[in-house]
Chain A
Amino acid sequence: METKSIFTVSEITRYLKEKIDWDPILQNIAVRGEISNFVHHSSGHMYFTLKDNTSRLKCVMFRGKNIRLPFALHNGLKIVALGDFSIFERDGYYQLYVNEIQPEGIGSLHLAFVQLRDKLEKEGLFALERKKRLPVLPYKIGVITSPTGAAIRDILNVIQRRMPLSSILIIPAAVQGKEAVSSLVQALSLAQKIEDKIDVLIIGRGGGSLEELWAFNEEEVVRAIARCTIPIVSAVGHETDFTIADFVADQRAPTPSAAAELVTPDSAELSRHLRNLEARLLQSIKRKLHVYHWKLESLRQRPVLIRPQYMLANRQQALDYLREKQLLQIKERIKEKRAKLHLLVEKLNNLSPLAILERGYSVCYQGEKLVKSVSDLQKGDSLTVIMLDGKADCLVQDVRGEER
């Protein structure tokens, strides 16, 4: 048998490890792949597999390194991992010890931006209902910005122009660099502390790169803005720059000058508006009074008020007329009645016995009794015959019955 060297497992493992550790290609190497089997251990260390179509590679990113990641890792994320290869002796596999990760396709900062934005949006931090209305007339304007930057200059100029009488309190803060996050958060909590002295807040800075504006994308700063009970306008960078602070603030302004405009009313305009309202009030009331005046005048001009005796005269006249009419009617009636009377008198006359007597007839009485029939008579009876012009006492000589 050939004498081949026989190694122990540990020895060969160590050999392989050294080979790898000392190979310059395998150190400080960049590897591209897709994350799978991602585990974020409670220790803070991250374990995952980088894979492509045909192979897989075990990776680890210790807490010390991964804590600086601006974005979150998850399965399916395509990345470029920078790190060193070595062998995990105890378990016998090689792995990539990752120092840094770049997302594939978009910048890491951008990815972090997107992730935080989506997370906070889900929480409802950007909701319209959360946004507070800015006061129409802020007497005290707070500005959180750098006291030496370009932003403050623009803001002050605009405010002086539009509302020269409001007072401004500057709360200085660092707006970029490592101190920015804590500086901004502290400034916000200061403002909150004196909230009854501030009517509205502007937080912002002038233009810059994504890295320079980055503090306004940091979760701490954004949450501090969200927590703020004073109406707050964010004005970070230029028109096209959008930071998460912009989404969470009550209003966003594309520039610091625009923020100052948003926050202040044009007091000249307001004053004009007020005077215009006063003019309208005056107009309305004048019109109303005019209408009533006109109504009153036209009533006052009515004849009944000017010549009230007219009313009386009219009434008098009506009365006279009625009287006349009544008189006429009475006369008519009397005439009627008279005519009737005449008629009746005529009739009466005709029926009067005297008229009959006039015609030649006579009336016979036997004593008091009227004699109408010969059968009441006997020969020798006395009879009084009444004629028109007198009476004749007679004796009955003979009685004869007549057929008619």
Chain B
Amino acid sequence: MKRKKETSFEEALEELERIVQDLEREELSLNDSLLMFEKGIGLSRLCLAKLEEAEKKVEILLDSDSLATKNFVLEERSEEL
């Protein structure tokens, strides 16, 4: 099930791996090589950006109807469950 509409990290990474392999095989023409190189760099930058993108949050769900959440802080050890 697709969660994001734009290229997902996995897809970008897969394509990047493919491009690197193709380029290393050295069968492409100079023109294609340059195009692939550009595309590859673009994908790599995209992936690196996605790694930075995530929003760091730890939340706990409070109410099942309103779906309200609040920030979660680890309590000192109470009951061991």
Interface residues, chain A, with chain B CB atoms under 8 Å away: 135-137, 139, 146-153, 156, 163-172, 175-176, 186, 190, 193-194, 196, 199, 205-206, 229, 267, 270-271, 274-275, 277-278, 280-282, 284-285, 287-289, 292
Contact = CB atoms under 8 A, between A and B. Distances in A.
Contacts of B74: 152-153, 156
Contacts of A292: 30
A287 B26 contact: yes
Contacts of B78: 148
Which size bracket describes the interface of B in this complex?
A: 35 or more
26 contacts: A136-B13, A137-B8, A137-B10, A137-B54, A139-B53, A146-B81, A147-B72, A148-B75, A151-B81, A152-B74, A153-B74, A165-B51, A165-B53, A166-B56, A169-B69, A170-B61, A175-B81, A270-B47, A278-B41, A281-B23, A281-B40, A282-B37, A284-B23, A285-B33, A287-B26, A288-B26
B26 to A, nearest CB: 7
Contact of A170 (B16, B26, B55, B60): B60
B62 to A, nearest CB: 9
B54 to A, nearest CB: 4
Given A194-B67, A277-B44, A176 B81 contact: yes
Contacts of B58: 156, 167-168, 170
Contacts of A289: 30
A285 B34 contact: yes
Interface in B9-32: 9-10, 13, 16-17, 19-20, 23-24, 26, 28, 30
Contacts of B17: 277
A153 B75 CA distance: 9
A288 B23 CA distance: 9
B6 interface: no
Query: What 7 A-B pairs have minimum CB-CB distances, sorted nearest first?
Result: A149-B81, A165-B54, A167-B57, A284-B23, A137-B9, A146-B81, A170-B60
Contacts of B59: 167-170
B24 A280 contact: yes
A350 B56 CA distance: 128
A325 B51 CA distance: 81
A288 B57 contact: no
Contacts of A196: 3
Contact of B47 (A166, A274, A285): A274
Nearest to B39: A281
B57 to A, nearest CB: 4
Given A135-B8, A285-B23, A285-B34, 15 more contacts: A136-B13, A139-B53, A146-B81, A156-B74, A165-B51, A169-B69, A175-B81, A274-B47, A275-B44, A277-B16, A280-B24, A281-B41, A282-B37, A284-B20, A284-B24
